[in-house]
Amino acid sequence: MEWYAKWIKPQTDTGDVCPLFQKYFFLEKPVKTARLFITALGTYEAVLNGSRVGEFVLAPGWTSYEKRLQYQAYDITNLLEKDNHISVTVGKGWYRSPMPGWSKSSVQEELKKSPAGLLAQLEITYEDGSVEYTVTDETWTFTESPVRFSEIYDGEIYDASMECGSSSAGSGSRDYGSAKPVCAFEGPTHTLIPQQGEEIREQERLTPICIFTTPKGEVVADFGQDITGYVEINLTAKAGETVELSHAEVLDKEGCFYTENYRTAKAQYLYICRDGQQSYKPKLTFFGFRYIRIDQFPGGTSAAKPENFTAVVIHSAMRRTGYFNCSNPLLNQLFDNVIWGQKGNFVDVPTDCPQRDERLGWTGDAQVFIRTACMNYDAEKFYTKWLADMMADQGPDGRVGHVIPDLLSEEPASSAWGDAAAICPWELYLAYGNKELLSSQFTLMKKWISYISTHTETEYLWTGGTHYGDWLGLDAPSGSYKGSTREDFIASAFYAYSTSLVIKAGKVLGEDVAEYEELYTKIVAAFRTAYPEYKTQTECILAAHFHLAEDCRAAADQLATMIKECGVKLQTGFVGTPYILHVLSDYGYSELAYSLLLRKEYPSWLYPVTKGATTIWEHWDGIMPDGNFWSADMNSFNHYAYGSVADWIYSVAGGIRRIPEFPGYEKVKIAPVPDERLDWLSVTLDTRHGKIYSGWKRAGNVWRYEITTPVDAVVVIDGKEQQVTKGTYLFYSEIERA
């Protein structure tokens, strides 16, 4: 891409007001094709002759801006007229908003100093073959836009009363006051890359299920679902009247509006009306919410009606590929919550949560969920872009940050978080079979192993350092967010696991991995010497799942005993929970795994469902049995990590299992594991090679299995393997009863 455009900015600083850049141009010849190439330092919305350009909201997306800034290319041929007007509003977005709100970030502090910059280039090819460019330069102008304020955490203010009519050039364009000069500046050019990730788009629209008044007299609309997006308002009003909305995920136990868990994020928007019928939705920011409080409304808040509000769901434009259904309504709701949790947190970056003053691409959350994510949706393009940012942000010594983009670059790496550098590329390869993608990320993987090897206090283990441990483990000592599993144990276990993945990736790529094989052997030996005994559920899980124990079955037996002794409850956190059901079912405890999955009392996956959850919670008891909240400062109700349980549902309960030698489901193993507490269950995966279906149901004293495979498969029923070619098959087996 050859750029003739210049970066432009307002000649005078507009403060919190978003500038509106404008250009008029005239076409004298018939146009064959026209494209707009554009990006900004912030989020932008481009309008050509009164029509929005493209469907990408929050463009140009969120990347590691110091190293990578995406630009977009739009076909605008059908939007052109003889007289044309293009306008672009630029907000702060992720680029220049104050974030993260809960912690200082020197990276973000530098970005905030950047101007509201715009780079745009219209490439117009005429019917006679000639090409003309209209580019950002000093001939453009700007005005203050009606967007008076827009930031990621705090929301948006829009003054529609500024809309004072249409100008003569270009239908639907608006005049917002006297045009002011722009100036060119040395904006980023060497960091520009074409659009790599999925576009963020509007996906669904929800109407309120009700509007009610709380015991405090607040007027609240309930959309019935915790989402990520914004509210579109539709009303008739007089100029100067206002609509002010606040956002929340939950109500408190008295049924009142609750926002403490948003911490410092204001999550509000204010709309100042013009005369007449009008509609508006935020242009340059987003919110995480289920409820809105109507703080101001023309005629008083009691005048607000459900038809005045529509919740617009946004997320990266991924294609749904995984489906589940069963005879248990609570389990169906759990799976629905997993899907909504992914949609709400896959807004260009796999964030931890979409609502509070955080919304960061936490690597630990990403690595525990990526297998599930790639079953639920075709997420290859989404993760390819994010992993490219991880590679860009990886330190010269191999360090990988807690979050990507790495706004917390001063902090040392943590095990199980930084290990996303090895786990995510390998999981992406197994899901889609893209060897070129794995090759592009192999250096990232190797450098991470080098980081661990040079930042440990004990050779062949990872000891010392600062780690998150088994984050939010239920066996945490009083006053700690970390579980009781030894941090050095976790770090050393992941050191071994990540090294094993480098070996596997290297063999796929034909690389010499002899040194890593030797390193892995020494890590395992050192681990077994240092940790001959396991003290927590998570320690048993990691020792068995990563095949580090001298006797993995004994570790699994110990885990099963621990679970039973505490009342058939898990005590794990972010590190142990994703693997707990797998370890149980791998070593003959499938019934116990189902007992954990189907448990309704706290702590369990279904407990939040019984409390009305519509997404996955950060804490098992975000809302406790007595109706109080777990905490005010760290209590997200849309936090997808524990939704990783869905991969066990797909691959064990439903039985659709990957074969590593045949990545991308080129060949599969189908080994469903039924349970008498369910009457029937089915899963579907739409893979690169077609749709795989696996379902089972009870028929008297017999299990009836139906399997459809588009590829050759190994089917395992009652421990008996048989090879099948593509097609649909029925199998039967006796129900075993104790």
Cβ 292 vs Cβ 245: under 8 Å = yes
Report how far residue 668's alpha carbon sits from residue 729's, in angstroms, rounded to the nearest whole number: 15
CA-wise closest residue to 482 among 494, 498, 496, 471:
471
Report how far residue 441's alpha carbon sits from residue 391's, in angstroms, rounded to the nearest whole number: 8
Cβ 204 vs Cβ 313: under 8 Å = yes
Q: For residue 18, give both structure tokens.
A: 């978003």
CA-wise closest residue to 659 among 423, 430, 498, 439:
430
Report how far residue 542's alpha carbon sits from residue 189's, in angstroms, rounded to the nearest whole number: 46
Q: Residue holding tokens 């900004």?
A: 40
CA-wise closest residue to 50 among 74, 86, 21, 78:
86
Q: For residue 393, give both structure tokens.
A: 């942000």
In 174-308, DSSP assigns E strands to: 180-185, 192-194, 200-206, 210-213, 219-237, 242-248, 250-251, 257-258, 268-272, 276-280, 287-296
Cβ 376 vs Cβ 342: under 8 Å = yes
- For the chain, the distance separating the N- and C-terminal CA atoms, rounded to the nearest angstrom, is 68
618 has catalytic annotation: yes
358 has catalytic annotation: yes
Q: Any idea of the CA torsion for 57, 175, 160, 71, to the nearest 10 degrees? A: 10
Task: Order across the sheet with 322-326: list the strands.
Answer: 322-326, 680-687, 690-699, 702-709, 727-734
Report how far residue 471's alpha carbon sits from residue 482's, in angstroms, rounded to the nearest whole number: 5
Report how far residue 262's alpha carbon sits from residue 152's, in angstroms, rounded to the nearest whole number: 13
Cα dist from 643 to 370, 578, 683, whole Å: 10, 8, 16
Longest dimension (CA), the chain: 85
Report how far residue 399's alpha carbon sits from residue 465's, in angstroms, rounded to the nearest whole number: 12
Rg (C-alpha) for the chain, rounded Å, is: 27
Q: For residue 443, give both structure tokens.
A: 């250096």
Report how far residue 59's alpha carbon sits from residue 427's, in angstroms, rounded to the nearest whole number: 28
- Which amino acid, residue 298? P
Q: Any idea of the CA torsion for 652, 656, 660, 662, to the nearest 10 degrees? A: 170
Strands 276-280 and 219-237: antiparallel
Q: For residue 307, give both structure tokens.
A: 């038809």
Give the burial class of 106: count Cβ atoms within 10 A of its Cβ; 0-12 exposed, 13-18 middle, 19 or more buried.
exposed
Q: For residue 670, give both structure tokens.
A: 């189908």
Cα dist from 687 to 39, 128, 386, 552, whole Å: 34, 45, 21, 32
Question: What is the total residue count of the chain?
Answer: 738
Candidate list 199, 241, 358, 427, residue with the active-site label: 358
Q: Element (H or E) spanning 565, and its range? A: helix 552-565
- Which amino acid, residue 505? A
Q: Element (H or E) spanning 682, and its range? A: strand 680-687
Q: For residue 537, give both structure tokens.
A: 């559920």
User: Which residues does the annotation mark as catalytic?
Assistant: 358, 618
